[in-house]
Amino acid sequence: MPQMSPMMWFSLFIMFSITLILFNQINFFSYKPTILKKMESEFNMKKSMNWKW
């Protein structure tokens, strides 16, 4: 099995690093949180309460 030169190892490292960064960015930006809608509905519910003392 032939050995790889240092430049080949470096290019392989760069390729895997770029792949990892792109994969993480795609996963991060494709996530759509639904927490905001839930909090907004809770706020509206609290707003409509009538307190009678």
User: pLDDT tens track of the chain, all 53 residues?
Assistant: 578 898 899 999 999 999 999 999 999 988 776 665 556 566 655 555 666 76
Domain annotation covers residue 13: yes
Alpha carbon separation from 32 to 22, 35, 37, 42 (Å, rounded): 18, 9, 11, 19
**Which pLDDT score is estimated for 3?**
82
Domain of 12, in residue numbers: 7-47
Domain annotation covers residue 29: yes
Tokens of 48: 């409509």
Domain annotation covers residue 52: no
Domain annotation covers residue 17: yes
Number of domains in the chain: 1
**Which pLDDT score is estimated for 20?**
98
Q: What distance in Å separates the CA atoms of residue 11 and residue 19, rounded to the nearest whole number?
A: 12
Task: Say if pTM beats, i.e. exceeds, 0.85.
Answer: no
